[in-house]
């Protein structure tokens, strides 16, 4: 059991191996946990978390980037890096008596298409993924409010600039995009929208700022669905069809990445859904077939795993775990029958009997002396009608008699030899 410090109040919380979420007893806040429970990794994460909470975001980010060189499969490290990039510090809200995230940095790129956030999502189980998405959406709303407030402070001192046509404003905005001057570009696109609200190029420009891209052709590099953005939806509604094509390609690229790194059937299912969204892309059909092949392989792996858990189960929790896996497999092989078998076992709740039964089987299999058979017989006689205990009891008694008979035969053989040897010696 490792001591991990709360991301919000920095009090120590106790975590168990394999746990995805926990609630801090001090601040009552639910939070995600790292996959690794090693003490040295926990200490590094606690150090980075402390630096972030005191607003040393760059130093904290450096710690997480260094950690990612050695550990690439822990989504919590990627998520902590996201918090540093967007200047997130958790502060107590007196009105609701709860710790809430506060943004201390203004970034034009939406957290929902940040590469570290996408890595965290792709490498997460479903519990962590839901928690990350919920918090990222909240951070995205806060970022938009900060950007809106900063845009109010943009002042165009040149009166002739205010009179520029929307086309010229968009051209200037695109020039600023090429130089990655996000604030200036955003100012021009906002003015263009004020002059001509139905100009799709202005919304496209604002979308590029939101993604921190200097060229629409780079949208597929994001590997995520941009439909979360109001700028994207508005640009498409106003007739920017090229943007839809680029977005489908971005979804396709994200699906390929997710499929290649998939570790379970849930991730393959999500990749399949993304391929269906981007089915117009070249090779989407081939990728769907590959997804189906991988899905079958994962189903077989899950089925075998669940069967093993059920067979070796000696506790309620293990049987429940096997049952949940069979439920997810739905109609795969005889999963429905296995679900019923797990349910019956859970209702009987005879795990103590099962443990004794297994002990009796082990004793019988390794028995060498009468005492071993006696101990196994006593166990099976107590179990009476459980499984085939009656048959195993008879088997114990038969084997015990055979052991006794073999011992008698050996004694008689030795006695015969002892009698025959002196007579042979006399004849010699």
Closest of 198, 311, 128 to residue 321, by C-alpha:
311
For the chain, 428 residues long, give each residue's pLDDT as a single digit of tens.
Answer: 457 888 888 888 877 777 888 888 888 888 888 888 788 888 889 899 999 989 899 999 999 999 988 888 889 999 999 999 888 988 877 655 677 788 888 787 888 888 899 888 888 888 888 889 888 888 888 888 877 776 555 444 444 444 457 888 888 899 999 988 888 898 889 888 888 888 899 999 999 998 889 899 999 998 888 988 889 999 999 988 899 999 999 999 999 988 888 887 788 888 888 888 888 888 888 888 888 888 888 888 888 988 888 887 767 778 888 888 888 888 888 888 888 888 887 776 666 677 788 888 888 888 888 888 888 888 888 877 777 788 888 888 888 888 888 878 778 878 777 777 777 777 66
Domain parsing of the chain, residue ranges: 2-152, 159-262, 284-349, 366-427
Inter-CA distances, 427 with 395, 421, 423, 424, Å: 48, 10, 6, 5
Q: Do domains 2-152 and 159-262 have the same CATH topology?
A: yes
3-state secondary structure of 13: strand
Kindly report the number of other CB atoms within 10 A of residue 363's CB atom: 20
CB-CB neighbours of 264 under 10 Å: 13
HSE value, Cβ hemisphere, 13 Å, CA-based, for 18: 0
Q: Domain 2-152, what fold?
A: 1.25.40
Evaluate if pTM is beyond 0.75. no
CATH number attached to the domain at 159-262:
1.25.40
The pairing of strands 2-5 and 12-15 is antiparallel
């Amino acid at each position: 059991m490792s001591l991990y410090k709360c991301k919000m109040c920095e009090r120590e919380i106790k975590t168990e191996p394999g746990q995805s979420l926990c609630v801090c007893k001090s601040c009552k806040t639910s939070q995600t946990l790292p996959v690794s429970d090693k003490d040295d990794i926990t200490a590094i994460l606690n150090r980075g978390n402390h630096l972030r909470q005191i607003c040393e975001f760059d130093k904290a980010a450096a710690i997480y980037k260094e950690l990612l060189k050695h550990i690439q499969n822990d989504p919590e490290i990627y998520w902590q890096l996201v918090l540093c990039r967007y200047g997130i510090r958790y502060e107590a809200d007196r009105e609701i008596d709860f710790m809430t995230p506060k943004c201390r940095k203004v970034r034009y790129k939406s957290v929902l298409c940040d590469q570290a956030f996408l890595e965290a999502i792709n490498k997460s189980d479903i519990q962590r993924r839901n928690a990350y998405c919920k918090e990222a959406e909240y951070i995205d709303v806060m970022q938009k409010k900060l950007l809106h407030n900063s845009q109010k402070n943009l002042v165009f001192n040149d009166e002739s600039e205010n009179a520029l046509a929307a086309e010229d404003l968009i051209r200037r905005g695109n020039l600023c995009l090429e130089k990655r001057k996000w604030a200036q570009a955003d100012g021009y696109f906002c003015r263009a929208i004020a002059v001509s609200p139905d100009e799709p190029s202005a919304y496209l420009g604002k979308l590029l700022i939101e993604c921190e891209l200097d060229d629409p052709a780079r949208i597929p590099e994001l590997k995520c669905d941009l439909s979360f953005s109001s700028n994207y939806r508005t640009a498409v509604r106003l007739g920017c069809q090229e943007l839809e094509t680029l977005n489908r390609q971005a979804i396709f690229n994200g699906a390929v990445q997710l499929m290649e790194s998939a570790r379970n059937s849930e991730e393959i299912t999500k990749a399949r859904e993304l391929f269906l969204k981007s089915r117009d892309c070249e090779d989407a059909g081939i990728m769907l077939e590959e997804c189906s092949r991988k899905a079958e392989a994962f189903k077989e792996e899950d089925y075998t795993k669940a069967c093993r858990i059920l067979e070796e189960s000696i506790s309620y929790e293990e049987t429940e775990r096997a049952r949940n896996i069979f439920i997810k497999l739905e109609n795969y092989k005889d999963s429905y029958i296995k679900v019923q078998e797990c349910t019956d076992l859970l209702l009987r709740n005879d795990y103590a009997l099962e443990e004794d039964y297994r002990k009796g089987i082990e004793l019988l299999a390794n028995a060498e002396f009468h005492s071993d058979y006696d101990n196994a017989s006593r166990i099976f006689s107590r179990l009476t009608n459980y499984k085939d205990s009656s048959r195993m009891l008879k088997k114990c008694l038969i084997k015990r008699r055979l052991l006794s008979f073999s011992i008698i035969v050996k004694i008689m053989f030795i006695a015969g030899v002892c009698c025959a040897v002196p007579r042979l010696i006399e004849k010699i």
